[in-house]
Chains A and B, each alone.
Chain A
Amino acid sequence: MSSRAPSPHPDHVDKVTGRTEYITDVEVPGMVHGKILRSPHPHAVIKGIDASAALEMPGVIAVLTGADVAALNNHWGLYLKDRPVIAIDRVRYVGEPVAMVAAADERIAEEALEAISVDYEPLPFVTDATEAIEASAPLVHETHDTVKDFYFKGEAKPVAGTNIFQRYNYEHGDVEKAFAQADRCFEAKYEFPMIFHYAMEPHCVIASFQSDGLTLWSCGQSPTAIQKVLSRVFGMPLARIRIISPNVGGGFGGKASVKIDPLVAALAWKARRPVRVCLSVSESMLTARRLSASIRVKTGVRNDGTILAKSVSVLMNGGAYADTGPAVAVKAANRAIGPYRIPNLKLESMAAYTNTVPGAAFRSIGGPQAVWASESQMDEIAEALRLDPLEIRNRNLLRRGEHVRPDLRPIDVEMGEAMDIATREMTQLRASDSGSKTHRGTALGISDPGIMAVSSVLLRLKIDGSVAVVSNSVEIGQGVREVLRRLTAEQLKQPVDVVEVLTPDTAIAPFDWGTGASRSSLMMGLAIADAAADIRRQIADIAAIVLEVDPQSVELCEGGIAIGNRKKTFGELLHAYFGIDSGELVSIGRVSPYSNAGKLAQAPLFWETAAGQCAVAVDEDTGEISVRHYVSVADVGRVVNRAAAEGQDEGATVMGLGHTLSEELVYQDGQPINATMIDYHVPTIDEVPENFVTVLIESGTGPGLGGMRGMGEGAILPVAPAVANALAAGYGARIRELPLTPERVWRAIRDRKER
């Protein structure tokens, strides 16, 4: 632990003592409460809604249904305009909002929901992606209305008359020819389930129409995306829409882009009152989830393990609305490549609508699905060729500067170094635990973060030397405020404790693309550097005027400036300049694809990577896996806040243990049958490995300040294949379907023994 600052996460004390303010703690004058009536049908026509009894109940202020939103631009989406503000005439999944009540309190609102009767005519439905792409499948949407460069670069490629809302293809070399020339070809299909994000804070939004426009207190990770969508839905200029982002209790992508914001705003619009809607965890489970995937991988190799060709075919279950699924489908293909030299490569990906909870971005979008498939197969190849799993990887590893794909930025880390460190650390851990019988598994993950280089920040240097950082980077528990605080202090050469990072508010904070894709420390850091340079210029110019010195000789120092041995505080300098002992300097920092001589424009901005190694023991009679040790290694370029960075790495890994061991949203007859925290098991402290080592390599080779890369998502990539590989190595049981539940493990071991 080499952290220099005394408190790694100054907000921790407030959090554990309950003082931290979340949206649920916000009180807006005149605020009423909203509750949502949800569809019990996977697919149905709404023939009628009778809310008259609800409206007569004391305390009920308004009921919103599809009929009300006719006056609005009532469909929205960031890739496809497929989602109604609230269900209009038709529902497409169990849990879809059908009606909403605004009432004096939550209890009355909930009571009133039971007084609303909805007449449904059920339609044929489809919940499985493979069935959804068959010609006979019921169509979830009849038409596909795409938007280009709306918030994400590019456009989705749906197939008319089908449930396919995204297709992606890439190829280099000649895959079929290389397969024909290969000594061996390996082909298999790998299944990854639907996973719930489980942020501890469910979705929560307050919406209020006031004389100066619409204000939302939103749990969203992308305030400016919410602003844009609301602007379109309500036909209001962006300048009249304000998004405030208090502390958010976890996002993981489940609060990225736009979720319940248009729905809550529509209820406030109907009720003509500020409305607060806070979902329960079970409702959040019906709001967004990770896209499940079937991934077929074929790899052709020489007998010595050299990869000659690889072809990847991804089919993702995107749920009832596309949301960010089109981006996820592309990333799932790219992230299946791996850190290997692949002279002939073919990628195909497809995402389909189904009558299930909408699929959405989730920590390293598409990454865990892709790496699960490709890294499982690496070990299968190694086993068949009688090669050590580390050796086959080493043989094919890309060195720094080599191309993953010719059209992408060359890989900018040494994956071999990360793998070696993981091996060394794991060898030590196992040596110290010689009493237990464990088996080792390895996996490597690389991902191409989809980062838009569009960020800006405002710095305000006050006359007393304090500094306010005004940005739209949302604190979702990842510690971004502390990082921005430290980077600002560093850039302005001030102590950390004079810097205050404000609550994001689009009314005062300049545009930022959003908080996600491992981008905020990196992008906002670069914007801060730009803004700090401007503050330095302003100070030097003022010093030149007030003190009659050469602006080139003016340096920032703690509390003020230095010209050689001569020092002035900010107060002395600005007092002399403004003529009163009051005032401030304001600067804006900006990052665009043209910043840094265009170096930020090439995709990906950097490679986010992870080498994971685990040691597992299995109770062969029950099939229960115990992950006893875990090592996670990544080159993150530079660590700004060590405790928080390690926390991100550990958190990503343990989150990965969820989809590895127990998590899976299960559908039966169109219904999600385990969408409660009793029947859906998220890892607890009991599943955390006894020994956990995180090694963050600080190579200083990233594009951010001090050579930093983004981080916080990579560590989730290798977890599942590492555990499955350990299982195969130790027990001969190769499982290609997640999660590795005790039953699946027991069955695989039993089948292996019976063979």
Chain B
Amino acid sequence: MFLVPFTHHRPASLDEVFETLGRHGDDAAVYAGGTELLLALKARVLRYEHLIDLKQVKELSGIRVEGKELVIGALATHHQIANSDVVKAHVPAYAALSEEVANIRVRAAGTLAGNLAFAEPHSDPPSLLSAMDATLVLVSPGGKRAVPMRAFILSEFTTAREENELIAEIRIPVTAAGEGFAYRKFGHLERPAVGASAGCIMREGKPSYRLWFGAIGDHPLQATEIEDAIAGVPATSLPDVLPRAARDCAAGISTASDLHGSADYKQHLASVLIQRALAAACEAAQNKGGANA
């Protein structure tokens, strides 16, 4: 299918973006990589008279460290993130996730911000960014506001972003010494059936854990039952507690049978993957928060 004719805009600044958006309102959509939007337009699921290409907007580009946060600009592609020395050094688990997003064509064009804004549930980044306690900075003509990743995705294809807001950047806390994160996913189709993200944070010899599921629900799900069950349990003792906690928690996830698998299979995968992710995260934490999987 072909794109329905539209007017293309290439603003060079955020002011210009908002000016153009203000002029066209609901008839306009912004895009960067276009890997999600253009597909939807070609399939004629969506229709816009005006497309605003953000790629010339300098304020949205760049990957850098500011204080204790890694800042990923809205124009950074999955491929740039995966291959950025800054990301690999400061948030290695996220670099590893980026390297496995979809396929090389999607990684080369698609941006992390676009992925988050689209909020397709079968997606890799949200659960790990939730486990890492990342923050999204949204910008609008009225100014900026920060929204925690954990609160950003409301349901499938629905986010906390207002009509007149853009994602400007994603801020991820730098993985410190004694911290480790990991992401594990599984699926036999193009997109993940289930994803699981884990963080292991050692403070003065005591561990705490962060566990999130992705793709299985319509937004990232915090595995609080498992977190509670294993709170304070040293990594070496996890095998005594974790399998049962993971199984019980996963069994409670509300999910429907679909092409990715039956509900009980996806719950099982969630249990398996969260255990694998946590094992990898603990190992990474032990390697002093350095190179991890």
Mark A residues whose CB is within 8 Å of B.
106-107, 110-111, 114, 280, 621-622, 624, 661-662, 666, 673-674, 677-681, 741-743, 746-747
Contacts and interface: CB of A to CB of B under 8 A. Distances in A.
Nearest to B262: A743
Given A110-B1, A743-B265, 5 more contacts: A107-B2, A661-B188, A679-B189, A743-B261, A743-B262
A311 to B, nearest CB: 34
A107 B4 CA distance: 8
Contacts of B88: none
27 contacts: A107-B2, A107-B5, A110-B1, A110-B2, A111-B4, A114-B44, A280-B1, A622-B186, A622-B269, A622-B272, A624-B188, A661-B188, A662-B189, A678-B189, A678-B190, A678-B191, A679-B189, A679-B190, A679-B259, A681-B188, A681-B189, A742-B186, A742-B188, A743-B265, A746-B265, A746-B268, A747-B265
A157 B268 CA distance: 48
A415 B189 CA distance: 37
Given A622-B186, A679-B189, A742-B186, A674 B261 contact: no
Given A107-B5, A742-B188, A666 B259 contact: yes
A747 B4 CA distance: 45
For the complex of A and B, 8 pairs with smallest distance between CB atoms: A621-B272, A743-B265, A107-B2, A678-B190, A743-B261, A622-B186, A110-B2, A681-B189
Contacts of B191: 678
A107 B259 CA distance: 32
Nearest to A680: B189
A426 B5 CA distance: 57
Contacts of A280: 1
Contacts, number: 42
Q: Is the interface of A mostly helix, strand, loop or mixed?
A: loop
Contact of A106 (B2, B188, B265, B268): B2
A111 B265 CA distance: 42
Contacts of B269: 622
Nearest to B5: A107
A741 B190 contact: no
Contacts of A742: 186, 188, 261
A674 B1 contact: no
Interface string B262-277: 1001001100100000
Interface of B: 1-2, 4-5, 44, 186, 188-191, 259, 261-262, 265, 268-269, 272
A624 B189 CA distance: 12
A107 B2 CA distance: 6
B271 to A, nearest CB: 9
Nearest to B189: A681
Contacts of A674: 259
A195 to B, nearest CB: 15
B37 to A, nearest CB: 15
A95 to B, nearest CB: 14
Nearest to A106: B2
Most buried by B among A621, A661, A741: A621
Contacts of B5: 107
A746 B266 CA distance: 11
Contacts of B44: 114
A680 B191 CA distance: 11
Contacts of A661: 188
Contacts of B4: 111
A200 B162 CA distance: 41
Contacts of A679: 189-190, 259
B211 to A, nearest CB: 17
Contacts of A747: 265
Nearest to A282: B1
Contacts of A666: 259
Given A106-B2, A111-B4, A662 B190 contact: no
Nearest to A742: B188
Most buried by B among A662, A678, A680: A678
Nearest to A108: B2
A681 B190 contact: yes
A666 B261 CA distance: 13
Nearest to A664: B259
Nearest to A109: B2
Contacts of B262: 743
A743 B188 CA distance: 9
A689 B114 CA distance: 35
Contacts of A111: 4
A272 B124 CA distance: 52
Contacts of B268: 746
B1 A741 contact: no
A745 B191 CA distance: 20
A624 B259 contact: no
A141 B49 CA distance: 45
A622 B259 CA distance: 16
A226 B190 CA distance: 36
B15 to A, nearest CB: 33
A140 B44 CA distance: 31
B106 to A, nearest CB: 11
Contacts of B265: 743, 746-747
Nearest to B261: A743
A747 to B, nearest CB: 7
Nearest to B273: A622
Most buried by A among B5, B190, B191, B259: B259
A741 B2 contact: no
B155 to A, nearest CB: 21
A678 B272 CA distance: 25
Contacts of B2: 106-107, 110
Contacts of A680: 189
Contacts of A621: 272
Contacts of A110: 1-2
A677 B105 CA distance: 14
Nearest to A674: B259
Contacts of A681: 188-190
A681 B262 CA distance: 17
Nearest to B194: A622
B273 to A, nearest CB: 8
